[in-house]
Chain A
Amino acid sequence: MSEELKGLIVNTKCECGHQNPVGTVLCEACGKPLADEAASQDILEMRYDGVARRSQKENPGVIDLVWNFFSSVKVAIYLIIMTTIGSMLGSIYPQESTFLNIDPSVYYKEEYGQLGHIYYLLGLSHTYTSWWFVLLLVMIGASLVICSLDRVLPLYKALSRQRVPKHMSFLTRQRVTLQTDVNNEGTAWVDRITPLIRKKGYRVRTDGGTLLAEKQRFSRWGPYVLHIGLIVFLLAVLARGLPGLHMDTHMGFQEGEPKQIPDTSYYLENDGFTVQFYSEEDLPDEFKGKGKVLPEKFETQAILYECEANCDLGQEPELKEVMRHQIEVNHPLNYNGLKAYQFDYDLTPTIISVSPTLVHADSGEEFGQFTLNIRNPERTYEVGPYTMTLKEKYSDFGLNAEGKPSNMSSSQNAPAFLFLIQGPDLPEDGVQYFYFPKQIDKERFQQDALNKQLGGGELRFNLEVGSMEDVELSQSTTYLNIRIDKAMPFVWVGAGIGMLGLVLGFYFQHRRIWLRVDDGKLTLGAHTNKNWFGLRKEISSILKQMDLEVDEKSLVNNGGSQE
């Protein structure tokens, strides 16, 4: 135990008879300065009304030591400074998370040289997701909670249990103080001044020749309300890590095909995408005549569905429309916290389905029509007297290294279908027929020559598409940024509480006036947490009504020094 603490214990009992806890600076009952430090002050330090903080106790155990560490404002300031420095370091080079696909162990060296490599090795390339940075934030959070609790509870107790009579040295060592003769009996004088003080909005309590007037005490809770707001804010940000509370992803939507938004029961459909480009004369000068195409406005007609049944993977979902919205840049779709922002687009059309007609190659006789879904075709189609069995399907047709038909990629660049046609006048095991729905592929892969070869030198059939009505196209793909942030309302609540705390603390002042009349002599002390000028003015005007001319400036307690 330190010498200082020992000294404090000896002095905990005040001359007024009140037993104060260890660490009390000003007697909880009469306000007499107790600690040596306070006793030597010309103007009393009124922070927390001089009560002991919770953490100040004798024989601190391990728990108390941890508690004391976090209850220190000094520690809090160091934590904030360290966090600030950390944040600054993290902003020197771009963070890893800003790149989609890089190998940070080489990227930083290549891009920023040796310094960049050191930056990476120190782990600063992911500062904000490093254990030490999060630890600092958690410690600030802990400090916020513990500092507040450690002070607000004793302060609350002290302010709700204030006694009216105060020690003479408490009054004369306030920053606003006055001693003057009133030549009047104490109780009568106090009774006379009470209504005048009340008129100024004070709550007044009297005890014989002593008085305590107080207003806007709630302003004292401002900082603590702010802290609660910050804690809610921090917790809300932390909660974003919980599954389902936060999503930020980019998805492409082909026209006309509802697509599930991952980890939700929602499906979104691009029901048409339009884009307007700037005309040549509207382009900025630096782009003119360069053949640049700049989009002026692009928007997606979006339909949002919710899956009602058969929502499991591999089932045909039953969708119910819940919302339609025209998504434009800065005008996202917003449904119960699910937001879809316009992000990008691709105007390459893709075939969704074709409805070709099977015709005789020579006579042109039509046998029948069927609809071929490019992505999800049927295994067999009955077309007139013929049965067409789909043997092979390619999304991006090509020939592999061995010269065999194969997929070149998983995208729908060059869809191709190999059918086996069986029916009248055909060999028993049918004839094979390759079909390329895209005209460009038909030519590139020489569909007719190929089929002639497959048909043993004879081209029997053709699959013909009469008009564009037989082709279902997706004109475009729109890329949307899908965001869910269910923690956001709590972030706002936290911010709101914080703002309330700031208003309470900044725009209101806790003013108190104590006075006592001893043998015709008035001693007045007053305290506020800000706007001392206003307080002095108020006191001066009250005293004026009591026929006491007191200059505002004379109320200032210089404590022997110039203010």
Chain B
Amino acid sequence: MTGKSRKTVQVIILLAILMLGVYAIVTVVMGKEGVPKEGDQVPGFKLLGSDGAVHTLDDFDGQAKVINFWGTYCEPCVREMPALQEQWLKWKDQGVEVIGINVGEDKMTVENFAQKMGVEFPVLMDPNRDAVSDFRVGPMPTTFFVDSSGRIHHIRIGQLDLETLDKQIEQLVNGS
């Protein structure tokens, strides 16, 4: 083998090791920190909506998102629904989408509830708590404020009132 081709082989081997090494470190370090924090990319999801269609995170690409985890059995969730609906109406034309993810209930319960409460923003269903575990949602309600690039801007655990919600969305829109 000539000196030159030997050098090429050396460089290829070192590059391969470097790439594998970076891959290994990134996957291990990322995989461990499964708990999404403010500043992280929002986890993806693929859920059936109450409209009967499958929705993924990509469907809301480029939009600022308010992702709210709720259930009809969670009273503060029920109380904050009108505020979410109102803010959805206010901000939807400015590229903000409110997404409600129902945790663990069935379609009929969700449909009835949305109808009764006048909820018009997209509601997705997570009967097997897949999104709950990806988002590491503990107590409910939990709301993720995600900017248009998919970065988590703020995580709110507990009931939101109209004012706080408005302020958070405003920060979300202006910040991004």
Task: Give me the interface of A with B, judged by CB distance under 8 Å.
Answer: 54, 63-64, 66-67, 97, 126, 129-131, 134-135, 137-139, 141-142, 145-146, 149, 235, 238, 241, 262, 312-314, 375-377, 379, 390-396, 400-401, 406-411
State whether A393 touches B54 (Cβ < 8 A).
no
B interface residues, Cβ below 8 angstroms from A: 6-7, 10-11, 13-14, 17, 20-21, 23-25, 27-29, 31-32, 46-48, 52-54, 71-73, 75, 78, 103-109, 112, 128, 130
Q: Are B24 and A410 in contact, CB atoms less than 8 angstroms apart?
A: no
Contacts of A238 in B (CB 8 A): 20, 23-24
Beyond A145-B13, A375-B106, whether A407 also contacts B27 by CB under 8 A is no
Q: Are B75 and A400 in contact (CB under 8 A)?
A: yes
> Hey, which chain A residues are within 8 Å of B32, CB to CB?
97, 126, 129
Q: Which 4 A-B pairs have the closest CB atoms?
A: A410-B104, A138-B21, A407-B73, A129-B32
State the CA gap A312–B109 with chains docked (Å).
22
Tell me the complex Cα distance, A67–B11, Å: 9
Given A262-B130, A313-B46, A410-B73, verify A141-B28 contact (CB < 8 Å): no
Do residues A406 and B112 form an inter-chain contact, with CB atoms below 8 A? no
Contact B24 A146 (CB under 8 A): no
> Could you tell me if B108 and A377 are in contact, using CB atoms closer than 8 angstroms?
yes
Can you list 20 contacts pairing A with B, beta carbon distance less than 8 Å? A63-B7, A134-B25, A135-B25, A138-B17, A238-B20, A238-B23, A262-B128, A262-B130, A312-B54, A314-B52, A314-B54, A375-B106, A393-B112, A394-B109, A396-B73, A400-B78, A407-B109, A408-B73, A410-B103, A410-B105
Assess whether A142 is in contact with B31, with CB atoms less than 8 Å apart: no
Contacts of B109 in A (CB 8 A): 393-395, 407
The answer, among A141, A312, A376, for a CB contact under 8 Å with B17, is: A141
- Besides A66-B14, A141-B20, 9 more A-B contacts (Cβ < 8 Å) are A54-B6, A129-B31, A134-B29, A241-B27, A262-B130, A313-B54, A314-B48, A392-B112, A407-B71
Residues of chain A lying within 8 A (CB to CB) of residue B31: 129, 241
Contact residues of A: prevailing secondary structure: mixed
Tell me whether A314 and B17 are in contact (CB under 8 A): no
Task: Determine how close the nearest CB of chain B comes to the CB of A288; give it in whole angstroms.
Answer: 41
Cβ contacts under 8 Å, B11 to chain A: 63
Give the distance in Å from the alpha carbon of A138 to the alpha carbon of B78 in the complex.
51
Distance of A129 Cα from B21 Cα, bound (Å): 13
Are the CB atoms of A393 and B17 closer together than 8 Å? no
Which A residues are CB-close (under 8 A) to B14?
63, 66-67
Contacts A138-B24, A393-B112; is A67 near B10 (CB within 8 Å)? yes
- Total contacts A to B, CB within 8 angstroms? 97
CB distance B20 to A138 under 8 Å?
Answer: yes
Least CB separation from A412: chain B residue: B106
CA–CA, A342 and B31, complex, Å:
27
User: Given contacts A66-B14, A142-B17, A377-B108, are A129 and B28 in contact (CB under 8 A)?
Assistant: yes
Shortest Cβ distance from residue B77 to the other chain A in the assembled complex, whole angstroms: 11
Chain A min CB distance to B116 (Å): 9
Complex Cα spacing A447 to B32, Å: 50
B46 and A407 contact, CB distance less than 8 A: no
Cβ B73 vs Cβ A145 within 8 A? no
A149 to chain B: which residues have CB within 8 Å? Answer: 13
Task: Chain A residues near B128: list those with CB within 8 A.
Answer: 262
B13, B17, B47, B103: the one within 8 Å of A313 (CB): B47
User: From residue B22, how far is it (CB to closest CB) to chain A in Å?
Assistant: 9
CA distance A141 to B103 in the complex (A): 44
Chain A residues in 8 Å Cβ range of B25 = 131, 134-135, 138
Collect the chain A residues with CB atoms within 8 Å of residue B17's CB.
138, 141-142, 145
A262 to chain B, nearest CB (A): 7
Known: A129-B28, A129-B29, A410-B73. A376 touches B106 (CB 8 A): yes
Q: How far is the CA of A487 from the CA of B16 in the complex (A)?
A: 20
Residue in A closest to B16 when the chains form the complex, CB atoms: A145
A130-B73 in contact given A67-B10, A314-B48, A314-B54 (Cβ < 8 Å): no
Which residues from chain B contact A262 at a C-beta distance below 8 Å?
A: 128, 130
Residues of chain A lying within 8 A (CB to CB) of residue B48 = 313-314
**Cross-chain contact B106 with A401 (CB below 8 angstroms):** no
Kindly state the separation between the CA atoms of A141 and B46 in the bound complex, as whole angstroms. 37
Say how far B5's CB is from chain A's closest CB, in angstroms.
13
Provide the bound-state CA to CA distance between A138 and B20, in Å.
8
* Docked CA distance A99–B54 (Å): 33
Partner of B28, one of A134, A396, A410: A134
Q: Is the CB of A401 within 8 A of B46?
A: no
In the complex, residue of chain B having the shortest beta-carbon distance to the beta carbon of A410: B104
Shortest beta-carbon distance from A80 to chain B in Å = 17
Which B residues touch A400, using CB under 8 A? 75, 78
Chain A hits for B106, CB < 8 A:
375-376, 393, 395
Contacts of B47 in A (CB 8 A): 313
Contact of B105 among A134, A145, A390, A407 (CB under 8 A): A407
- B165, chain A: closest CB distance, angstroms: 22
B24 near A390 with CB under 8 A, answer: no
Q: Within 8 Å CB of B23, what residues of A?
A: 238
Report A-chain residues with C-beta under 8 Å of the C-beta of B6. Answer: 54
In the complex, what distance in Å separates the CA atom of A409 from the CA atom of B140?
A: 12
Set of chain B residues within 8 Å of A379, measured between Cβ atoms: 108
Residue in B24, B53, B103, B105 whose CB lies within 8 Å of A395: B105
A311 to chain B, nearest CB (A): 12
CB distance from A362 to the nearest CB of B (A): 32
**A67 to B17, alpha carbons, bound, how many Å?**
11
C-alpha spacing A63/B128, complex, angstroms: 52
Instruction: Give, as a whole number of angstroms, the nearest-CB distance from A437 to chain B.
Output: 15
Instruction: Let me know if A390 and B108 touch, CB within 8 A.
Output: yes
CA distance A74 to B31 in the complex (A): 33
The answer to whether A63 touches B21 (Cβ under 8 A) is no
| Least CB distance, B141 to chain A, in whole angstroms | 14
Of chain B, the residue at the smallest CB distance from A409 is B73
Q: CA A375 – CA B10 in complex, angstroms?
A: 62
A66 to B18, CA, bound (A): 12
Q: How far is the CA of A313 from the CA of B17 in the complex (A)?
A: 40
Task: Please state if B24 and A401 are interface contacts (CB–CB under 8 Å).
Answer: no
Return the chain B residue nearest A262 by Cβ.
B130
Q: Which of B21, B71, B75 contacts A401 (CB 8 A)?
A: B75
Q: Would you call A314 and B28 a contact (CB within 8 A)?
A: no
Interchain CA distance A408-B74 in the complex, whole Å: 8
CA A408 to CA B11, docked complex, whole Å: 63
Most buried by A among B28, B48, B53: B28
Task: List, in ascending order, chain A residues with CB within 8 A of B13's CB.
Answer: 145-146, 149
Chain B residue with Cβ nearest A379: B108
A97 CB contacts on chain B under 8 angstroms: 32
